[in-house]
Amino acid sequence: MYNANKLELDLVLITETADPPVTKITDLAKYIYASKQKDKLAKRKQRESVVETKEIRLGINFKRPISRFQGDKGLFFIR
């Protein structure tokens, strides 16, 4: 505490469940800003990891020319 007051900074509690609790001498506003930026980046990466899938349904009860057309459409859709 004395060192934090001497440097005119804040004593920030990082992990209170550890024994002994982990603290850091830093500017509180700067620490909160960095924490929010880290959370934003984690959320952005989570959104980017979602993959869109394409689906196509092909039936087997068609006549041959129609099924060839369906197959061509399916191949075009996949590409």
Residue 15 has pLDDT above 90, yes or no: no
At 52, give phi and psi (nearest 5°). Answer: -85, 140
Average pLDDT (60-72) is 60
Angstrom distance (rounded) from CA 6 to CA 3: 5
Average pLDDT (50-65) is 68
Angstrom distance (rounded) from CA 28 to CA 13: 10
The residues facing 25 across adjacent strands are: 11
pLDDT at 33: 94
Token representation of residue 62: 């068609």
